[in-house]
Structure formats: C-alpha cells, structure tokens
A and B are shown apart, each in its own frame.
Chain A
C-alpha cells in the first residue's frame, strides 16, 4: 500500500516523518490534510499511534531519530521535554533512549528494520552497542555505492528495501543476503537518488512523494 503525499508542499516526506510498525512521529505544523484526510491517520487507521513532536526543536524528525518497533533512538541534542513527551506518548514496549554521538542525524547514519541495522562506518562503538541493545538488531557497518551515509541512500523494512541507483549488482546481492530481504536499486521523486529522504515506510504502509 503506497500513498503519495506531500508535507507542506515538500516532496521529502522521509525527512519529516518517522514511521515504524509501532509508532509514527511527525512534526507539528503541517496542514491537517497531512494528518487526517485519508493520509496518515487514515492509512494507519489507528493501528499505529501518531505522535506529534519536535526533535532538538526542529521539524526534521525523520532524519534525526531512528527506530523500529522495539525502540527509538534520539540524538543528544533532543531537549529533555521532547524526550519526556515521547516517553509519555509511545507505548511501553518501545524503549526511548538518547544517544551521545557526534553524528547526530541518526537516520542518515543508520538504516534499520526489526532485525538488522546498517550503520555509518564511523559510528562510535558505544552507539553500535546501544543500537543492538535498544533496537534488538544485528549491526553491520556498510557503505552504499561508496557513500557512508547509509541511512540516506538506502531504506528497508522487514519485507524489502530500496537502495541508491548506482549500487553495483554484487553489492546489491551482498546486501540482500546480509539483510535477508529483497533489495532493489532505484530512484525516488523523479530521479532523486537519496531514496530515504523521500519516503517513510514500515511494513504494510508506504508514504512517498507526490511525483
């Protein structure tokens, strides 16, 4: 089920929304059409709690925090009030944790689903441990088509994933075996190679840009 959507006239949905099987984080301030009229809450149909929040005072929640159904990782720049708000709103099974990491745009550095995570090769050892502990995933340090920002250039769920169009076939196969899901190379948003910024996905639902 894929839906085409725009956030405040921007096609980069993945920057603003963070969607997993257990929760959905969106920033405040977009038109109600984004939230209500058949888009977010319509598609998710109450199966997933939609939480309006900011992270570190910004609206780019999709890029700053990363998570799966077991947990949510926030950058150290997130304020105490935001962390408390998220902790109150998210279901108890989801562990909310702050990560002290130099690379604070976590979603650009970490791509994960419920079983496996790919991370930026320069990520701290400590952060890697936190990821495997909080999200309950196996962590692999990888590059995608020579790019270190794995979270930006590749996005995947439990069912499948999309990577940067210039990933070689061997790399694709390697990734597929590593992640145990079928991977496809492609572009989003009429030729945008940064696939992760333009889509917000979890298992059953996918939100992509309008074009």
Chain B
C-alpha cells in the first residue's frame, strides 16, 4: 500500500479513494476524487486551475522551496532494513509535517503583510482627507470628544500613606 498524490490537485490519495487512469504510453494518472478526474477529462491544465497545489506553487501563493520537501523525494535505491532507522523515521515524520505546516502558514502571513500595511495606510489617509464626507452629526461627536489618550501613572504606596497620615 502506498499513499500517492493526486495528479491534478496534489493531495494524498488514501486507500479506497479515487480513480487511476493508465494512458497508452503507460503513464499512470491518479486522482483523489471525481472532481479532479472530471477536470482532467475536460483537459484542464492544473497549473491554471486556482485551487490546485500546482497553481498555488507556480504563482507563489504556497511555499515552494523548503528543506522539509527534501524528505519526501522518491528514492529508487532502497536501504537495508534497520529497526532503529525505521523507528526514528516514524518518530520524525509528524515533526517534519508540523514544521512544514508552520513554514507554510508563515509564508502565507508574510505574503499578506505588505497588503495589510497598504490597507491601513489607505484607511488612515481616507479618514484624514475625506472625513468631511461623513454626515455632520457623526463628525461633531468626533470633534467634540476627541479620543482620550491613556496616560500611565505609577502609583507609589508611600505617597498615599503620607496623605493618610497628614489628614
């Protein structure tokens, strides 16, 4: 039993799922569900279909180069069975997956950062320039009660005690 990747969307295909198509030149196409299979039959290019991994990696939406990807390469030369090695590999797999997911999340949030910054700038600019567009009722409130800035005052115990004493 081997967990393959869907040819179209690159998700893992678990046993009992999906369809495999073998072309005349003996190339095997595996699909995780009928959605991918039908898209393939429609001759769609996964690199142009937005929800596939191929598109996301091509357009820089998802992480492409990372050390964690190296672990999953297909190796054609097997190693002799070594119990320790197998045990350590099995322990390491969930850790590697976690690291990869964290890296992916970071990549995506980094991707969003400049956009967010721009949005905030735009918004503050809009408030500054176009505040006159708002109805007078709302603006007068704003002008009448400017935002109270919070000032931190350190409360020193001794002072209050002195006060009490004085009184």
A interface with B by C-beta (< 8 Å) = 79-80, 83-84, 86-88, 92, 95-100, 102, 104
Q: What total of A-B pairs shows CB separation below 8 Å?
A: 26
Residues on A with C-beta less than 8 A from B77 are 95-98
Contact of A84 among B25, B26, B76, B81 (CB under 8 A): B81
- When C-beta atoms are compared, the residue in chain B nearest to A82 turns out to be B78
Contact present for A80 and B76 (CB under 8 Å): no
Expressed in whole angstroms, the Cα–Cα distance for A92 and B81 within the complex equals 12
Contact present for B76 and A87 (CB under 8 Å): no
Expressed in whole angstroms, the Cα–Cα distance for A10 and B25 within the complex equals 31
- List 26 interface pairs A-B (beta carbons < 8 Å), by A numbering: A79-B2, A80-B2, A83-B78, A84-B78, A84-B81, A86-B78, A87-B78, A87-B79, A87-B80, A87-B81, A88-B80, A88-B81, A92-B80, A95-B77, A96-B77, A96-B78, A97-B76, A97-B77, A98-B76, A98-B77, A99-B76, A100-B76, A102-B25, A102-B26, A102-B27, A104-B26
Expressed in whole angstroms, the Cα–Cα distance for A160 and B58 within the complex equals 55
Q: For chain B residues 77-126, which have a beta carbon within 8 Å of chain A? A: 77-81
Q: How far is the CB of B83 from chain A (nearest CB, A)?
A: 12
Expressed in whole angstroms, the Cα–Cα distance for A80 and B81 within the complex equals 12
B interface with A by C-beta (< 8 Å) = 2, 25-27, 76-81
Residues on A with C-beta less than 8 A from B26 are 102, 104
Residues on B with C-beta less than 8 A from A92 are 80
Q: How far is the CB of B149 from chain A (nearest CB, A)?
A: 66
- When C-beta atoms are compared, the residue in chain B nearest to A88 turns out to be B81
Expressed in whole angstroms, the Cα–Cα distance for A97 and B26 within the complex equals 20
Residues on B with C-beta less than 8 A from A104 are 26
Residues on B with C-beta less than 8 A from A83 are 78
Residues on A with C-beta less than 8 A from B79 are 87
- When C-beta atoms are compared, the residue in chain A nearest to B76 turns out to be A98
- When C-beta atoms are compared, the residue in chain B nearest to A95 turns out to be B77
Q: How far is the CB of A84 from chain B (nearest CB, A)?
A: 6
Residues on A with C-beta less than 8 A from B2 are 79-80
Residues on B with C-beta less than 8 A from A98 are 76-77
- When C-beta atoms are compared, the residue in chain B nearest to A73 turns out to be B76
